[in-house]
Amino acid sequence: MKNQETKNYFIDTEFHEHKKPVKFLGITIAQVWTIDLISIGIVCEDGRTYYAMNRDLNLKHAKKNKWLKENVLDKLPAKQELYPPYGSPRLLQESMRWLPMEQIRQEVIDFCGGKPDSDEGGSFYSYYANGTPIFYGYYADYDWVVFCWIFGTMMQLPNGFPMFAKDLKQMLDDKLTDFQISLGEVTKGEPTEKDREATFDEKLKWLKSQPNYPTQKNEHNALDDANWNFKLFQFIKERWQKNNNKTVSTNVQSEQ
């Protein structure tokens, strides 16, 4: 694989967890848990976006889940064939993003700039014109499983794709755990002799109250959530870059 720069992608998925019947001679003998993709949103750090809904999804079965129906499925546009020619142009455009899994699979590779590598006889997407992809999610474990299943087994992931996603929640928690701030600073109260370091929950509440902490809108829309993930990534980088600069400045002054 050619050496190249990396490119950050921020993903979110909506999915249906349900029990799938296992049949023998037409008779259900067991039920096993599985996950089906509903929709996927990807935001690249260069500003490009990708969104698709799984046309192969059993919508009728998924709508039996009351929470899923009210919070995810009812917000999705109907499939293209349900819109008349004189319908809303915007909704018609959105409805065209109901795609079969095979097409989603190829479009995700294309979105990441995957190019067949001539050194491998053109059989592997081991070169990425935009940079080797790095994927981020928020509480990303399930999103990553659903994302990988778009391609099949782990061994069927496109060559050059990582086998893990970076979790923004874990990144944020690690930063906060190491971040030293007093309870007085967090509560904006007057420091006292009994002032102590803020607990993790107090620091998290304080951080989310900052005016530049990204606001999450239209939650459970995969593309909007992926865009929020990107904004959170930017917030973390900017926030702790300022903190690091402040620490370096303080250390230099103390040395002088």
Q: Please tell me the distance from the alpha carbon of residue 201 to that of residue 25, in angstroms, as a whole number.
A: 54
Q: Please tell me the distance from the alpha carbon of residue 144 to that of residue 137, in angstroms, as a whole number.
A: 8
Q: Please tell me the distance from the alpha carbon of residue 131 to that of residue 114, in angstroms, as a whole number.
A: 9
pLDDT in tens, 18-53: 988 888 888 888 888 899 999 999 999 999 999 999
Q: Please tell me the distance from the alpha carbon of residue 82 to that of residue 196, in angstroms, as a whole number.
A: 61
Residue 29 confidence (pLDDT) = 87
Please compute the mean of the pLDDT values over residues 55-75 and round it to a whole number.
Answer: 94
Residue 121 confidence (pLDDT) = 43
pTM: 0.85
- Phi, then psi, of 245 in degrees rounded to 5: -65, -40
User: Token digits for 254?
Assistant: 């103390």
Q: At what angle do helices 168-178 and 222-255 cross, to 10 degrees?
A: 20
Q: Are 46 and 110 in contact (CB under 8 A)?
A: no
Closest by CA position to 36, among listed 50, 18, 52, 22: 18
Residue with tokens 């086998």: 163
Closest by CA position to 61, among listed 21, 14, 18: 18
Q: Are 178 and 242 in contact (CB under 8 A)?
A: no
> Which domains, ranges and CATH numbers included, belong to the chain?
6-164 (3.30.420.10), 169-255 (no CATH)
pLDDT bucket at 88, cuts 50 / 70 / 90 = low
pLDDT in tens, 180-228: 888 888 877 655 556 788 899 999 999 999 999 999 888 999 999 999 9
